[in-house]
Each structure stands twice: as structure tokens, then as C-alpha cells.
Amino acid sequence: MEKFKTAVILAGGKSSRMGFDKQFIKINEKRLLEIMVDRLKKEFDDIIIVTNKPERYAGSSCRIVCDEIKQKGPLSGIHIGLKKSSSKYVYFVACDMPNINIDYIRHMKEKIRNLDVDACITKVGNRLEHFNAFYSRGVIKNIENLLLKNCRAVACLTSKVNTFYIEEQEARRYSPDWNMFLNINTKKDLDKYINSLDD
């Protein structure tokens, strides 16, 4: 099995603050998620989209999957993404994180390439960035055990497994303004992101 072949975009969630489903955001008539896929294809041969609306992805060049363990939040998306992956380590990003930073992805790969870890996560102060991150197929059982106990937070997983942390100072060399962790949660966030594209 290859080490870094698969990337997963999590496209579930309720998008309650946005007012419409974030996985279908369009920029200049192109779905934002498709723009992310095009970027990820520069680094990954296998792209998986985890969605609760698979019927909306007819004709996609990606593999489309649904949560196996329903209604359990992003941890269940990580679970099915890992189960369906074709590599030991899998890159995960959310569909509302448009700024794919290929240089930082490559940096994370090099940091863990010769290590035996379960995840590679970035720290910012005391907070953890659980996406724009790598997880190992080795944590599938850990996730299943957590979800059986109704522990849904991704932090429940990373605190219990062998997680490799990249400190904020190191990560900011690749994204000084931290925009590689930008989340588009509201219409205001979306407008701000679109305006930044014109700068």
C-alpha cells in the first residue's frame, strides 16, 4: 500500500450558519469543491468526497462515499474516508476550506514519512487544526470505539492516539496569514473570500 496516495474532502455538515449547503458553493460558475479537487490532484492520485448528497455528484472524477456510521459528525467522515482510502496516510480537508496549500501538504508528508504515527496535526496556541491534516488507516478501530461511546469530537481521537504535532511558528512559514486554515462558515466569510480573489 502506498503511503500518501489519497486525499479526502469532507462535504457533510448542516451549513446552518451559511443558510445553504456549503458543498455547493460556486465561484465564477464553478463549484468551489471542484476547484479544491483540481488543486489536490496536483499531489494526490486518489480523491474521495464524503457527502450526504451523493446524487448531486453524478459524473464526478472523484470517488463519492457516504458515512457508514450516520449522524456522528466529522469523525464519522474521517472514519469512512480512511476505510475507503488506498494509502496508509490520508489527507483530510473540509469543503469550506478553499485554500489548499500544496507546499504545506508536502511539508507534512516529509515530517511523518519515516515515522510511525497515527496523525499529523497543526497547533495554533492551545488549539488544534484537525483538518488540513493527515490521519492513518491505523486509527479506524479507535474511531469506531469512540463513536460507539458517542464521543464525536475529533479531539477525542487525536488525544488518544500517537499524534505528531506541527507547531504554529513552523506552519506559519507556509501560511503567514493562516489562510490555509480559513473556514467559510457564513455569507460574510464567503463574500470576504471572493473579494480576496480579486486582490
Find out whether 12 is annotated in a ligand binding site. Answer: yes
Is residue 103 exposed (0-12), middle (13-18) or buried (19+ Cβ within 10 Å)? Answer: exposed
Q: What are the residue ranges spanned by the domains of the chain? A: 6-197
Report the Cα 32 to chain-centroid distance in Å. 14
Which pLDDT band holds residue 184 (cuts at 50, 70, 90)? confident
Distance CA 38, CA 105 (A): 15
The class (CATH top level) of 6-197 is alpha beta
Residue range 56-111, pLDDT digits in tens = 888 788 999 999 988 888 999 999 999 999 999 999 999 999 999 999 999 999 99
The string of pLDDT tens digits covering residues 122-173 is 999 889 999 999 999 999 999 999 999 988 899 999 999 999 999 999 999 9
Judge whether 14 is annotated as a binding position: no
The reply, when asked if residue 11 is annotated as ligand binding, is yes
Q: CA-to-CA distance for 196 and 199, rounded, in angstroms?
A: 5
Task: Give the chain's mean pLDDT.
Answer: 90
